[in-house]
Amino acid sequence: MKIDLKIPNLGEAEDTEIIEVAISKGEKIKKNDPLIVLESEKAAMEVPADYDGVIVSVLVKEGESVSEGKIFATLEVNDAPIDKDESQPEKIKVEDQVVEVKKEVEQKDKKFTENLQIFGGINSGPAVRKISRELGIDLTKIKGTGKNGFITKDDVKNFIQSLSETKPQEYAELSDLENFGDFTLENQSKIRKAGAKNLYNSWSSIPHVTHFEEVDVTNLEKHRKILNDVSKNKISLLAYIVKACSIVLLKRPIINSTLVGDGKLMLKKYVNIGIAVNTDQGLIVPVIRNVEELNLGQISEKINELADKARRKILMEKDLKGATFTISSLGAIGGTGFTPIINPPEVGILGVSRSKKVLQLLNNETTERLITPLALSYDHRVVNGVDAGEFMQEIKYLMENYHND
């Protein structure tokens, strides 16, 4: 049986705006499911379903003004259970159902009118309340930006985003700790304080994912020693890594990009790589510009030059700007792996841990190989797992095949 769904008695309100349509053609609904949301000058109110059924048609849209009695949808009502009485024909049973339908509609009209005249409560539609229930959000804490303070889906999204923009943890109170033993107090350098703030902001605002990989640098080390035997300037393992990154970053510019206004990506056609350098004042990241134009010897010279300037505190401001990607190497310090934190506005950073010797079975023979652990942290808003995996595989290939070049 089909029933026309009409706008109920609106009390004193004449034209009321539909601010949300919660149904669509062909949708199955149950009794008390929200159908539409109406907004008067005082409140936003739902029109609930009176019966289980299927929506046959929807005749209104959001933003439309309606008045009492307007048909806004048609519902195919499921037959209600009826006690079987063979002495009564089926026609009478159906008529009884129609009478009951009309009575319930009249009761709903009355209840709706009473509710519409009540100001207060949560001014939102069913879709918003559904989202809030699923995410465990208290709608009373959200200020609606819609008409008469109506809470929209965008309001909920903005509220969720604001929760992620948390403030840094407050410093511990000295008075809470000073009675447990002897201690000294030291002032942190401006570099350390600035670095701590930047790291916190990066970690709390960027969805970090880290991809780990191991690279066999046995043959590369042989290649490096041959070059160092004939070269005036010694070439480090880091120089090879920087060169490999410059090649792959140009090939896969998504990891050499920056997320800019309106969600657009700035894909850079140049490679400037920041090299993290530890100093007595804290971590500093000078930048090697246009790495794609440099050979291994020139890269190694630049690394040594910038590291020396950083430790002697003679870096210029231009030496610290413009990086498109960063490499943080623990070198001989040790560790089997770590998660480097992205340096915004970059979207990727490569961590390098200490190389280790391992025994591997190759061609049915046990052989000693030199393995370098790498870790790529990336901004998951921009870079997906496939991008990161392919990037690391190409870095691995280049480093394991330098001796063939």
pLDDT tens profile 32-46: 888 998 876 555 678
CA distances from 137 to 46, 128, 141, 205, 275 (A): 20, 10, 8, 20, 42
Q: Is the distance from CB of 107 to CB of 56 less than 8 angstroms?
A: no
pLDDT at 188: 85
Q: Considering the entire predicted model, what is its pTM? A: 0.60
CA distances from 130 to 33, 34, 137, 337 (A): 11, 11, 10, 42
User: Any catalytic annotation for residue 380?
Assistant: yes
CA dist., res. 275 & res. 325, Å (int): 9
pLDDT at 99: 56
Residues in the chain with pLDDT < 70? Answer: 10-15, 40-44, 79-122, 163-170, 403-405
Domains of the chain: 2-120 (2.40.50.100), 122-165 (4.10.320.10), 190-404 (3.30.559.10)
Q: Is the distance from CB of 27 to CB of 54 less than 8 angstroms?
A: yes
Active-site residue, selected from the candidate residues 208, 223, 380, 403: 380
Nearest-5° angle of CA 388, CA 266, CA 289? Answer: 80
pLDDT at 191: 84
> Which of these, 112, 125, 132, lies nearest to 18 by C-alpha position?
125
pLDDT at 95: 52
pLDDT at 118: 35
pLDDT at 363: 84
Burial letters 335-357, b for 16+ CB under 10 A, else e: eebbebbbbeebbbbbbbbebee
pLDDT at 162: 75
